[in-house]
Amino acid sequence: MATFLTADRLLKALRDEGLTVVEHRSWRTNNRNHKGGIGPMHGVMIHHTVTSGTMSSVELCYNGHSALPGPLCHGVIAKDGTVYLVGHGRTNHAGLGDDDVLQAVIAERELPPDNEANTDGNRHFYGFEAINLGDGKDPWPAAQLLAIERAAAAVCRAHGWSERSVLGHLEWQPGKVDPRGFTMDSMRGRIGTRLDGEPERPPAAKPPKPTYEPFPGAPFFKVGRNSAVVTAMGKRLVAEGCGRYSVGPGPRWSEADRKSYAAWQRKLGYSGADADGIPGKTSWDRLRVPNV
């Protein structure tokens, strides 16, 4: 018996499948649970919104309208493939459908014609609304179709279901036509292929490259100069084994700083006047003083 995924598990499942997910407003507590139970869960239902515009569609699905209170689904799939989570728990998306269809979904076999409306689908199905006018002319961008595939596969993977646990609204409730513009058989084929492989996780973010203080110029280093840059420089000199401090380093340029920097210059191979303890650009760049 499949229990409805917690908000954290649902969010993780979608993101692990490579989706960009936006948590819209208070989606975690936006539901219709006061109107009936939720679960056991048996499948994923795909819809189209009959609207255009991303945020207006998301708000509509979050709030609903006078004839149908929200939330109207669990996630809204935008044209660019972004998934906006708008509800968690019971939502107004499936309505009454055919009990024979439900049994076929549970058994993961071919769906029979939907010719009855006698079973509460809001209790048993996750729902995703894809933004589309549903007129047969509004295009389905590749990114949006891929997101539908990924979203359905993510929930199926989390529950151990096959693609046979995914259906369209038109396969559940008599008189419905959504989603219009692609076939559910083709979408189930895509989902099945995806489930046969590993989820496509987004690439790990590369750590930012360290940045360093630019050379402030030789005149910067004079008696009385007080700057966090001087402290950062002194710490780097100590790390390089060139510190000549009895106390510190600190922010005020001192003779100890000059002697320490001279030791760094000699470590680099400079001598004589080139190792006078006043930083030059080449030796400064090699010291790599972190930004302050």
Whether pLDDT at 248 is above 90 = no
Residue 156 has pLDDT above 90, yes or no: yes
Q: What is the pLDDT of residue 215?
A: 95
Find the mean pLDDT for residues 139-144. 97
- Distance, in Å, from the CA atom of 191 to the CA atom of 222, rounded to the nearest integer, reads 68
Which pLDDT belongs to residue 69? 96
pLDDT in tens, 213-239: 999 999 999 988 999 999 999 999 999
Task: Determine the average pLDDT of the residues in 52-78.
Answer: 97
Q: Which residues contact 204 (CB under 8 A, 6 or more apart)?
A: none
Average pLDDT over residues 68-89: 98
Give burial (CB, 10 Å; 0-12/13-18/19+) of 171: buried
63: left (phi over 0), alpha (psi -120 to 50) or beta: alpha
pLDDT, position 191: 97
Q: What is the pLDDT of residue 209?
A: 79
Residue 100: both structure tokens together: 């024979």
Percent of residues, the chain, with pLDDT higher than 70: 98
5-37: string of b/e by CB count within 10 Å (b at 16+)?
beeeebbebbbbbbbebeebeebbebbbeeeee
Phi, psi angles (nearest 5°) of residue 183: -95, 145
Residue 202's pLDDT band (boundaries 50, 70, 90)? low
Distances (CA, A) of 155 to 77, 173, 223: 14, 21, 66
- pTM equals 0.70
Q: Tell me the C-alpha distance between 164 and 181, whole Å.
A: 20
CA 193 to chain centre: 23
Asked if the model's pLDDT at residue 28 lies above 70, the reply is yes
pLDDT score of 206:
75
Distance CA 276, CA 94 (A): 80
Element (H, E) at 127: strand 125-130
* pLDDT tens digits for range 255-290: 999 999 999 999 999 999 999 999 999 999 999 999
Q: What is the Cβ-side half-sphere exposure of residue 239, based on CA atoms within 13 angstroms?
A: 10
pLDDT number for residue 281 = 95
Residues 6+ apart with CB under 8 A from 279: 215, 218, 221, 233, 261, 287
Residue 53: pLDDT band by 50, 70, 90 thresholds?
Answer: very high
pLDDT of residue 200: 64
Distance, CA of 153 to CA of 160 (rounded, Å) = 10
Residue ranges of alpha helices (H) inside 141-183 are 142-159
Sign of torsion, CA 163 31 96 57? Answer: negative
CA dist 30 and 86 (Å) reads 7
Residue 201 has pLDDT above 70, yes or no: no
- Using 50, 70 and 90 to split pLDDT, how confident is the model at 247? confident
Q: Cis link prior to 203 (omega < 30° from 0)?
A: no
More confident position, 118 or 200: 118
Q: Which CATH superfamily is domain 7-195 in?
A: Peptidoglycan recognition protein-like (3.40.80.10)
229-238 as b/e, with b when 16 or more CB fall inside 10 Å? bbbbbbebbe
